[in-house]
Amino acid sequence: MSTITVTLPDGSELEVEEGATVEDVAYEIGPGLGRDTVAGKLDGDLVAKEEEAYDGAAVEIVTEDSEAYLDVLRHSAAHVFGQALQRLYPEAKLAIGPSTDDGFYYDVANVDLDEDDLADIEAECHDIIDADYDIERVEVPREEALEAYEDNPYKQEILQDEAAGEDPVTFYEQDDWRDLCQGPHVDSTGEIGGFTLLEVSGAYWRGDEENDMLTRVYGTAFPTEEELEQFLDMREEAKERDHRKLGRELDLFSIPEVTGPGLPLYHPNGKTVLQELEDYVNDLNRDAGYDQVETPHVFRTELWKQSGHYENYKDDMFLLDVNEEEYGLKPMNCPGHATIFDQDTWSYRELPVRYFENGKVYRKEQRGELSGLSRVWAFTIDDGHLFCRPDQIEAEVTQIMDMIFEVIENFDLDVEVALATRPEKSVGSDEIWEQAESQLRDVLEDGGYEYDVEEGDGAFYGPKIDFGFEDALGRVWDGPTVQLDFNMPERFDLSYVGSDNEEHRPVMIHRALYGSYERFFMVLIEHFDGKFPLWLAPEQVRVLPISDDNLPYAKRVAGELSSKGFRAEVEERDWTIGKKIQQTHEDRVPYMVVVGGDEEESMTISVRDRKEREASDVEREDFYSHLEDERDEKRTEPDFLAE
């Protein structure tokens, strides 16, 4: 019997018989692990435990204690929904039902569902869970599968595309119901401890607006009811913090239908926050030796063909014809920066050359994928590109990572770090990619950073280090990035003169400290629940006169604050002081200054903060001095009245 060799997570190698499944590998490691096996990973891909391993594969065994177990459980929960739906609506046609970060969804057709229908479907789902049906993988001849789905064009398409050439194909059965599926799944429906359906929406088949509009039902599942309850509590908190809701309430931004989808308008309050963010990152860039540049919003597509974007990004670009020439709105800033570098002759002594630009870019996302500021058509990247010698790579990447961590700590955000490797759709030789990935890995390991490896998630032109921001609710959002690029310098024929008087190819590094302003703004709105730190707050201090008689003194205080660079307003509406205080709290202003006859007589102020702490007989200059320190040090919470 011939054998194969697989690699285990600890780096050790294991020899098993050819044809051995993931479960067989687990039993080779130990009988206990074999019995506990739920699924596995082959080279990072989640697969059923019945999947055959192959020579050289990296094998990871998934048990109930694995992070991936929740994905398997939720995939099975999607099948529970599918079975329940077809019990109640036999005419329903199922499309796809994957797990997601928050649960699962199933796209369905030929049935009209709304939120009112979910309770009955969920009750049927719970009956299926309580019945604890075995979930079994079965193989079905291809022709039989095609016949079974002769009236379901979506499953037919899956058979022709994802399952092309497979015979037999795999189904999963529970009770008298089955679904075309590669798995993996848990062993029985009863393993789902907590289950609920969440909402109904529409979704185009395959995410393509030219395809059928399907009904998408979202749900979630957990091993226990307690975990489900925790999730639902956090979901309610997330609704309260939703940046779209707070954006309206705090008058930060809008995305009206008349302007077009994914094209946000920033109101004065929102632009104030964005300007503070821009000023902050501009200072970081200048201190690190970057020079600011600016590039236009549109270029001839010859530039995008030279950079490789036209070939790899054409479907996501906004293209237009001008005088019989094709132009494209820029999806990235890097080709413009490479072209600026190419306008001069550089010596090795002048490298690295560092450029930065807060550059607006445009990407034609599917309308169904647009969501507030998290995914838009037009967004601004705090972009930086630098050109360096190969021997400068480690120092430059290390400096960038120091800048990124300064940003992260400044906003009190936790972060996840990952090395993203070569994607299937890419440019450049194997040798270049191996060199680039190796150098980024060395920086991470030399710096002692904890990181995950995201196989195939690199940019088409090079590998990258990605950072994910974790907000106050534990959610992770895409953020900063560092990308090593050996390909664009080649495509643009960039060079510098070395110490040997010969031309050499520089290395290009792409980086962003926020990622995009739009998504970072969204993260901050939700992370701080709209309660921005003093230095970011659109309105930093509101002065509240107790009566109209105190209005001149209130204006004097506000004027003194404004002269020191603070954004201060006087509340002049004819309201009671109680209502003025309440409204200021609702507007999430960090500080309010209350002035009445006593304050005016003593030339002092009373101070309240948004945590409802207060102090009277405060000397104005003491308050102003503290505000300057709090602002300049970019503290995350008002602390003048801290105990």
For the annotated binding site for Zn(2+), the residues are: 334, 385, 510
* CA dihedral of residues 231, 518, 356, 436 (deg, nearest 10): 40
State the residue for tokens 């690190």: 288
Q: Are 513 and 528 in contact (CB under 8 A)?
A: no
314 secondary structure, DSSP code? G
Distance of alpha carbon 324 from alpha carbon 327, whole angstroms: 10
Residue type, 547: S
Backbone CA torsion sign across 483, 450, 62, 191: negative
Question: Quick one: 233 exposed, middle or buried, by C-beta within 10 A (0-12, 13-18, 19+)?
Answer: exposed
Numbered residues of the known binding site? 334, 385, 510
Please report the DSSP string for 3-41 in residue order. Answer: EEEEE-TTS-EEEEETT-BHHHHHHHH-HHHHHH--EEE
Q: Are 354 and 341 in contact (CB under 8 A)?
A: no
Distance of alpha carbon 341 from alpha carbon 385, whole angstroms: 10
Run of H or E including 600: helix 597-602
Q: What's phi and psi for 470, nearest 5 deg?
A: -100, 120
Backbone CA torsion sign across 5, 8, 10, 11: positive
Angstrom distances, CA of residue 273 to CA of 36, 284, 331: 51, 17, 24
Distance of alpha carbon 535 from alpha carbon 618, whole angstroms: 21
How far the first Cα of the chain sits from its last, in Å, is 74
- For residue 213, how far is the Cα from the chain centroid? 26
Distance of alpha carbon 117 from alpha carbon 81, whole angstroms: 13
Order of strands, edge to edge, in the sheet holding 136-140?
Answer: 136-140, 169-174, 177-180
* CA dihedral of residues 599, 602, 604, 606 (deg, nearest 10): -30
**Joined tokens for residue 153:** 């064009």
Please report the DSSP string for 435-462 in residue order. Answer: HHHHHHHHHHHHTT---EEETT-SBTTB
Helices (H), 200-267: 225-241, 243-249
Residue type, 362: Y
Distance of alpha carbon 512 from alpha carbon 510, whole angstroms: 7
Q: What is the 3-state secondary structure (H, E, C) of 361-393?
A: EECCCCHHHCECCCECCEEEEEEEEEEECHHHH
> 360, 308, 306, 299: which is closest to 326 by C-alpha?
299
3-class secondary-structure state, position 527: helix
Angstrom distances, CA of residue 450 to CA of 45, 418, 465: 21, 8, 12
> 340, 283, 336: which is closest to 309 by C-alpha?
336
> 247, 220, 536, 537: which is closest to 371 by C-alpha?
247
Question: How many residues can be counted in the chain?
Answer: 643
**Joined tokens for residue 575:** 């309201």
